[in-house]
Amino acid sequence: EEGPLDYLTLDYLAEVTMSIMQKLKSRDPKKGYATDFVSLLDRILPTLIAKDIKVVANAGGVNPRACMEAVLEVMRAHGLEGEKVAIVEGDDVLGDLDELMSSGEDFLNMDTDAPLSTVRESVTSANVYLGAFPIAEALASGARIVITGRGTDPGLVLGPMIHEFGWAPGDDDLLAAGTVAGHIVECGAQCTGGNYTDWRQIPDLARVGYPIIEASADGSFVVTKHEGTGGAVNIDTVSHQLAYEMGDPAAYLTPDVIADFTSFKIEEDGPDRVRISGVKGAPATPHYKVSMSYSDGWKSVGELTISGPDALEKAKLCAQIVWDRLVMDGCEYAAEERLEEYVGAGVCHRGIPEAETESPPEVVLRMGVKGPDRDKVSRFGPELVPLVTSGPPGVTGFAGGRPKATEIIGFWPALVTKDKIQATVSVLTA
């Protein structure tokens, strides 16, 4: 509503999100997508139509088709018969894992090199990071709304560029440029002043402007925001985001291209405008990345607030009381199964002497346990709350009620050969 816009992109997915959505889908085949995306569209559809804005979102989660049906219902309720909605599928390979493994895909853990067979029976979700070309295909169908499952975050931005400019596989510099643009804006206001080191210099974060890419067919682009919004766009705010989640800056791997983040020129282009040009790219690898999750035991975590004087000393006594009582009850946990933190006494910067203090006015004691035995993990919760009256003075409250055992979701990153994965695009009309 604050200015011109051609495409609105929305990113709903993180690694753990896929597992949560898969669990929801297993309970109800109509679930497994971002329901708040549908309610958002219900609110903004009139503006989208009036300003001719297209939407690209990975809100489909593990059930893009159910998401599409829900969106079509909303569009019909707004009287938008004739508008098209497209979905990109093919990323969900949970049901294909055994066949893929039989064909020679070991799905080695990219962190540990362990084969997936070691946790195969516990896998709860498996999704391939698809590229941007299926999004461009969906837009070419005339779709107003494009819904994907798991794909790369920059791909949400690169897809519209491929569609608008006719970029093709092998246009490595151009695809790399679109990838850099997508990476800059993938975290929203994190490139317009959010989460910024010099935060005192950022005006009006309450009305922070979300980033806009003004893209050109030659691969150059400008990062900006709508006039009159809060936040800031400058070389520093953009550079902060460029370094976000970065491995090798000269080889940022995506399904579409390898982008070189050391290759381009970045310069001011006026107030709240940063221009990037000269991005270089290289051919993509023959693999997709696969994001898998698996059941990895149970955990229980709780917090107590302890006030001063001697808050830290009292908090340490509280922790020892809990561990001692559990041992007396025949329930002991190994060191790697126990969590004991003192928020307010330097826990977020542990090991930095000036960040640690022995005399904070209050401390939040965070304790927890984990392990494969749910009953043993559940035994921890009942021992925390009684400290309000049976521990040292100053225990002023506990957060979230009595801790309960919750499932631990483990993350398994792996690779799969591209020619064994098939992305598909489907289009329906409201």
Please indicate, yes or no, whether the overall pTM of this predicted structure exceeds 0.85. yes
For the cut 80, the answer to whether the pLDDT of residue 400 exceeds it is: no
Rounded distance between C-alpha atoms, residue 27 and residue 55, angstroms: 29
User: Degrees (nearest 5) of the Cα angle 333, 334, 338?
Assistant: 70
Closest by CA to 139, choosing from 250, 230, 9, 271, is 9
For the cut 70, the answer to whether the pLDDT of residue 77 exceeds it is: yes
| Average of per-residue pLDDT values in the chain | 94
The per-residue pLDDT for range 2-42, each reduced to its tens digit, is 999 999 999 999 888 888 898 899 899 999 999 999 999 99
Q: What pLDDT is recorded for position 375?
A: 95
352-359 mean pLDDT: 70
Q: Where are the alpha helices (DSSP H) in 311-392?
A: 311-328, 374-378, 387-390
The per-residue pLDDT for range 364-388, each reduced to its tens digit, is 999 999 999 999 999 999 999 899 9
SS3 197: coil
Q: What pLDDT is recorded for position 356?
A: 66
Closest by CA to 366, choosing from 397, 342, 390, is 342
The per-residue pLDDT for range 275-306, each reduced to its tens digit, is 999 999 999 999 999 999 999 999 999 999 99
Q: What pLDDT is recorded for position 412?
A: 96
